[in-house]
């Protein structure tokens, strides 16, 4: 698999646990911590509120601690809290690029290419994302979305779909087999999809999302639980975790 980077972390060889932060009070606390239960901090600026002045300064503190930050301003059209104009959202992304390692923007967004261009100039990574909270589209439809994101210049593509049964799970594994040679994150949402948050990561999905304070998506588990399950189920993740934390194998 080809690799990308988010901060100093390589993306593609082993899965990385992303801890979503959606509450302002969590930011007030987390910038002072050194032992974090995730590999990458996702700052959901749309949920926290773009009027909170300390967000970017806290992002810089987290980055300084050695944990890369992925900043997201998710549109309400794909499950987020952003209802404003995209021109304003683009301005916020551009403002944030000097304080974070990566940004996430929906592939369907009118500002998708503009965010990619700004991130490229800043030397930062872009996650191009797609979310369907109702269903899991057909395999070829998902593959087309992934290819669209990659052609536009996304470094990593993230696809999250609602899981209703075994056929939906099989579809995501099929997509991973077809498109997983480049960094690809696949997520099964909902109660039925909970196990796939671990199994897809073990099979090659490059990012696994949990929450640091409050669930940001159906079926999302705490990032600490996700990290623990990956250490138990995914040998490559366990080896990498021990190496990065200077620990000896048990």
Give me the residues paired with residue 209 across strands: 18
**Beta carbons within 8 Å of 156's beta carbon, 6+ residues apart:** 4, 6, 11, 125, 126, 127, 128, 183, 184, 185, 206, 207
CA of residue 150 relative to chain centroid, distance: 16
Query: Is residue 19 assigned to a domain?
Result: yes
Domain housing 124: 4-130+196-244
Total domains present in the chain: 1
Residue 152 lies in a domain: no
In a domain, 178, yes or no: no
Walk along the chain (250 residues) and give the pLDDT tens digit of each residue.
567 999 999 999 899 999 999 998 888 787 666 668 999 999 999 999 988 778 999 999 999 989 999 999 999 999 999 999 999 999 999 999 999 999 999 999 999 999 999 999 999 999 999 999 999 999 999 999 999 999 999 999 999 999 999 999 999 999 999 999 999 999 999 999 999 999 999 999 999 999 999 998 999 999 999 999 999 999 999 999 999 888 877 6
Does the residue 66 lie in any domain?
A: yes
Active-site entry in 121, 131, 181, 232: 131
Does a structural domain hold residue 80? Answer: yes
Please give the pLDDT value at position 33: 64
* Residue at 42 is within a domain: yes
HSE (CB half, 13 Å, CA atoms) of 46? 26
Task: Report yes or no on 169 lying in a domain.
Answer: no
CATH number for the domain harbouring residue 19: 3.20.20.70
In a domain, 187, yes or no: no
- Among candidate residues 158, 177, 178, 182, the one labeled active-site is 158
The pLDDT value recorded for residue 246 is 85
Residue environment code for 132-168, b if the CB has 16+ CB neighbours within 10 A, otherwise e: beeebbebeebbebbebbbebebbbbbbbbbbbeeeb
Residue 158 is a catalytic residue: yes
pTM higher than 0.85, yes or no?
yes
95 given a catalytic annotation: no
Output the pLDDT for position 110.
Answer: 97
Q: What pLDDT score was predicted for residue 9? A: 96
């Amino acid at each position: 698999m080809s690799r990308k980077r988010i901060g100093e972390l390589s993306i593609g060889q082993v899965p990385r646990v992303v801890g979503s932060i959606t509450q302002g009070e969590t930011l007030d606390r987390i910038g002072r911590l050194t032992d974090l239960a995730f590999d990458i901090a996702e700052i959901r600026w749309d949920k926290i509120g773009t009027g909170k002045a300390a967000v970017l300064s806290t992002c810089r503190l987290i980055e300084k601690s050695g944990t890369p930050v992925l900043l997201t301003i998710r549109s309400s059209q794909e499950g987020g809290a952003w209802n404003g104009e995209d021109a304003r959202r683009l301005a916020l992304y551009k403002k944030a690029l000097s304080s974070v390692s990566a940004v996430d923007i929906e592939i369907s967004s009118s500002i998708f290419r503009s965010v990619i261009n700004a991130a490229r100039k800043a030397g930062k990574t872009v996650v191009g994302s797609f979310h369907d909270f109702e269903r899991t589209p057909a395999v070829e439809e998902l593959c087309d979305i992934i290819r669209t994101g990659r052609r536009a210049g996304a470094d990593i593509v993230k696809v999250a779909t609602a899981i209703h049964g075994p056929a939906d799970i099989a579809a995501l594994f099929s997509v991973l087999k077809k498109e997983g040679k480049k960094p690809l994150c696949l997520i099964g949402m909902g109660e039925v999809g909970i196990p796939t948050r671990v199994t897809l990561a073990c099979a090659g999905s490059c990012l696994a999302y949990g929450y640091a304070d409050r669930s940001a998506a159906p079926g999302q588990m705490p990032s600490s639980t996700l990290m623990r399950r990956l250490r138990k189920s995914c040998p490559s993740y366990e080896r990498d975790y021990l190496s990065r934390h200077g620990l000896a194998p048990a």
